[in-house]
Amino acid sequence: MTATAPAFAAYADDQLYRVLLVEDDEADALLVEELLHDTGLPFRLTVTTTLADACAELAGEPADCILLDLHLPDASGPAAVATVRASAPHTAVVVLTGLSERHAGTDAMSAGAQDYLVKGKVEPDLLRRTVRYAVYRSRSERAAVEAQAARLQAQENKRLERGLLPQPLLETRAVTITTRYLPGREQALLGGDFLDAVEDDGVLHGIVGDVSGHGPDAAALGVCLRIAWRSLVLGGHRGAELLRLLDRILSAERREPHLFATCALITLDQGARTATLHLAGHDAPLLSTDQGTLEVSSAHGIALGIAPELGQWPQTVIPLPATGGLTLYTDGLTEGYAGDTDRRLGVDGLLGLIDRLPPTDPGTHVDLLIKEARALNAGRHTDDLAVLRLDWGPRGPSEGS
């Protein structure tokens, strides 16, 4: 049986306390209600006579404070406290004990109650202080739990970031490797952008990719594809064959059937002075030389996970100048807005930014480019961003980061 008393609002500047009284003695329940009125606290009181009814009430509507009698028809003692705390772990619990129960209050607090009151010894001022303090303490405990959860999430984000940003596996010092990864939104789980670079038999291999969507599913799939790519490259797989295997892995590992991924594979062979490029639904890289920066004219193939039976990924062979750099990136760098317009930055806008940047080392150049692109976008479009830049020639490996 549940009874609800009208709210009492003695102080308009004070909060309304939602109080749940669990008491099977009608006279004691009436006394508690009168004491609550005398406290001057604004409150809404709900009364239940059993612990089962109290748990049902809490499931439907939360309370700020639970006043709990320790002798109920269906529960008693610390077990009653444990049960109500399980139903409402972040709600203040104040137990009501009898005069003869010397240790009941302390036992109840050990079971999770914030405080206890002895029936017949309660004055309005004491009840007021007890309720307010119990609610404050309960909310402080909840804030501490939420802060701990936030810390754990931040640690998880760092672990995801370490997975998305591996250390390049390289032996050569003839090529400078610059990598950057930025999440689209602060304090959000990292999205599905990924990148990697490894060296095998004196040849440098790189990948930049982007799983559709955001959040943990996309991030997990991005990490899976990156690790699979590294393993397959070190196992001797190359080009279209490698993309077919990644396509199969994506189809097997994705949790949602609509997830797909774009990626760009690059194989840089300095001995042959060529770079071999395969694009799977991805933007072409940028080639920087002493004459400037241009988008590489490239053959394109379908994104991974779209239509495995139609997977065709032609290669593009790029002659390498004596000095230069190749920049592979995800669309988070180009899909932002180009200032106070509805126009997106795009590749042309990106090339325009590059033309205006001062000559500098590759790491600083990439940082300036990202900063300028984000300044133009001004937070209007959010997306993850990954950049892999490979530089070779007289500038030396010490310039990258």
For the chain, the residue count is: 401
AA letter at 259: L
- Per residue in 326-339, pLDDT (tens digit) is 999 999 999 988 98
How confident is the prediction for the chain on average, in pLDDT? Answer: 86
CB 327 within 8 A of CB 285: yes
| Residue that the structure tokens 């594979």 belong to | 265
Instruction: Reduce the DSSP state of residue 77 to 3 states and report it.
Output: helix
AA letter at 383: D
Strand stretches in 311-356, DSSP E: 315-319, 324-329
pLDDT reported for residue 192: 82
CB 243 within 8 A of CB 315: no
**Could you give the CA distance from residue 112 to residue 104 in angstroms, rounded to a whole number?**
13
* pLDDT over threshold 80, residue 129: yes
Instruction: Reduce the DSSP state of residue 354 to 3 states and report it.
Output: helix
- Per residue in 194-247, pLDDT (tens digit) is 999 999 888 999 999 999 987 778 888 998 999 999 999 999 999 999 999 999
| 206 phi/psi in degrees, rounded to 5 | -135, 155
DSSP string for residues in 139-167: HHHHHHHHHHHHHHHHHHHHHHHHHHSPP
AA letter at 366: V
Q: Are strands 292-295 and 261-269 parallel, antiparallel or unpaired?
A: unpaired
- Per residue in 97-124, pLDDT (tens digit) is 886 676 788 888 888 888 989 888 889 9
Residues 224/228/230/231 CA torsion (nearest 10 deg): 140
CB 249 within 8 A of CB 187: no
pLDDT reported for residue 399: 39
* pLDDT over threshold 80, residue 187: no
- 386 falls in which pLDDT band (50, 70, 90)? very high
**Could you give the CA distance from residue 259 to residue 250 in angstroms, rounded to a whole number?**
9
Token pair of 181 as six digits: 């990864």
* pLDDT over threshold 90, residue 316: yes
Q: Which alpha helices (H) appear in 235-345, and where do they start and end?
A: 239-253
- Per residue in 262-305, pLDDT (tens digit) is 999 999 998 899 999 999 999 999 999 999 999 999 999 999 99
**Could you give the CA distance from residue 248 to residue 269 in angstroms, rounded to a whole number?**
27
By C-alpha distance, which of 167, 159, 269 is closest to 216? 159
Instruction: Please report, in angstroms and rounded to a whole number, the separation of the first and last CA atoms in the chain.
Output: 69
- By CB atoms closer than 10 A (0-12, 13-18, 19+), residue 122 is middle
| Alpha-carbon separation of residue 321 from 268, 289, 297, 309, 393 (angstroms) | 12, 7, 16, 37, 9
**Could you give the CA distance from residue 304 to residue 300 in angstroms, rounded to a whole number?**
12
pLDDT reported for residue 340: 85
